[in-house]
Amino acid sequence: MAGAREVGPANPDERLEVSVRLRSRAGKKPALGAEALAQPLEQRKLLTRDQLEKQHGADPASIRQIEAFAQAHGLSVVEASAARRTVVLSGTVATMSKAFGVELKQFEHPNGTYRGRTGPVHIPAELQDTIEGVFGLDNRPQAKPHFRRTRAHASSASYTPLQVANAYHFPAGTDGSGECIALIELGGGYKPADLTNYFKQLNLSTTPKVSAVSVDHGKNHPTGSPDGPDGEVMLDIEVAGAVAPGAKIVVYFAPNTDAGFLDAITTAIHDKTNQPTVVSISWGGPESSWTSQAMTSMDEAFQAAAALGITVCVAAGDDGSTDGVTDNLQHVDFPASSPFALACGGTRLTATGSTISSETVWNELANNEGATGGGISDFFALPTFQAGTKVPPSANPGNHVGRGVPDVAGDADPATGYVTRVDGQPDVIGGTSAVAPLWAGLIARLNQKLQTPVGYANPLLYGEAEKAGAFHDITSGNNGAYKAGPGWDACTGLGTPSGTGILSALAPPKAQARKTGT
């Protein structure tokens, strides 16, 4: 980590768990090809979780290989999942170091100490076609939450999530019933009493049902500090729950490590009990802070979500076009930069009822109050759905053309932020962290109305929805290196939603005909 200092070897007797990610039994063949995923909703042929596991899960023989590897190196098998393509191993620093040919050390950082490594992870040659990635040898904080608090004197307006949904014309007569929204959280927690009081104040006709799932020993653990991750957790639940109160809200808590993050995502996607149809992620970090194996494995997990008809909404970051990196270059945030994620940028919104009087790019960098992330990926190529979108070259030397971020946007400026309740206190919070659960709630309501999952939304939104003018195009402002303008831009993507417009654009022709009586 930038600013970290090595202080010595890691304690050889310290116990840790490592997640070994296995290759798909189908090799590099995607679960559903790009052509299939780009089809209109009524023509898509999705997989069930059982079908995905059978066709693209880990081969049982591969799991047996890892179990034999563990036994040979004095490691214990904690868990093995063919669907998640993951085997969790337990052992000491000493045994793990020997098994994977690494030297684990202790580092000091202004934000705390962590166990880390440099150089490659080594695996036996006979496992090179079995193992895709090894996660958890280091436990440095991998991501940060993308929420921003307003200064007490800086709020020019604040809105409940319901008021924002009204401004964006979320479809009437929908509440997300029958859907499940998964929230990925890497710290903090929620207090049920706070949620009860908050939703009661909104006078919701339906009280959202919220539950927690533990991943890699993570758990619902409120810190009692509104400035900590509790703010993120409560914001996510309150926004998603308020705009889609009929949906089941399931919060997956995991440690803030690359292993924890990946395991939380794969656990949610392959959860046969809760069966999420939407995943909301408000955590991330600059692409430069991730290993290629982590980005590859997480992107593959999102591809699996697409094959199942799950939409993954991800916050695009709160530090403008640099994503907070101080190397004088532009960076985009991951996992928002995955082409299989719906990357959510931020605006500054002024609205009354269902009328928007002003909406510009969120940029308060001059006041050290953040700005929407956005730009051009250095890791992912330009996806097919953006081919006709006039994505500009990167502002970095070399002018690389890659995946453009974000795809869509929503109110994020803390000065026009969301009324929330955190650790017993009322609060106003913004950031692109609010936009991911907002879009997740919208997707849940669209799923309900369409009676089919939107799933991999990007080709649909860049296709029929864009053509139908189902977005409020944001043409004023910048996030540093990139400016807003007509059509897609690297600040707010396609724009903010007109929920009824998107619904109309995505509805199958027969459904549209029934509505018009033709």
Which among 345, 344, 320 has a CA at the least distance from the CA of 331?
A: 320
Q: Is 414 helix (H, G, I), strand (E, B) or coil?
A: helix
Phi and psi at residue 250, in whole multiples of 5°? -120, 125
Number of Cβ within a 10 Å radius of residue 196 = 13
328-359 burial code (b ≥16 CB/10 A, e <16): ebbbbbbbbbbbbbbbbbbbbbbbeeeebeeb
In 10-111, beta strands by DSSP E: 15-22, 76-81, 86-92, 105-109
CA 142/CA 164 separation, integer angstroms = 31
300 is catalytic: no
CA 146/CA 405 separation, integer angstroms = 15
Number of Cβ within a 10 Å radius of residue 378 = 19
236 is catalytic: yes
CA 502/CA 93 separation, integer angstroms = 52
Task: List the catalytic residue out of 216, 230, 232, 263.
Answer: 232
Phi and psi at residue 266, in whole multiples of 5°? -70, -35
Task: List the catalytic residue out of 236, 319, 359, 423.
Answer: 236
114-148 burial code (b ≥16 CB/10 A, e <16): bbbbeeebebeeeeeebbbbbbbbbbbbbbbbbbb
Q: Is 166 helix (H, G, I), strand (E, B) or coil?
A: helix
Task: List the catalytic residue out of 289, 338, 433, 498.
Answer: 433
CA 502/CA 461 separation, integer angstroms = 8
- 463 burial (CB, 10 Å; 0-12 / 13-18 / 19+) is middle
Compute CA 145 distance to the chain's CA centroid, rounded to the nearest angstrom: 11
Sheet of 148-149: strands edge to edge? 148-149, 425-430, 418-422
Q: Is the peptide bond before 9 cis (omega within 30 degrees of 0)?
A: no
Q: Is 85 left (phi over 0), alpha (psi -120 to 50) or beta?
A: left
CA 482/CA 350 separation, integer angstroms = 22
Give the dihedral sign, CA 489/490/494/496: negative
Q: Tell me the DSSP string of 191-203.
A: -HHHHHHHHHHTT
Q: Tell me the sheet residues that pair with 79.
A: 88
Compute CA 451 distance to the chain's CA centroid, rounded to the nearest angstrom: 24
Asked if 4 contacts 113 with a C-beta cutoff of 8 angstroms, the reply is no
489 is catalytic: no
Please identify every residue annotated as catalytic: 232, 236, 433
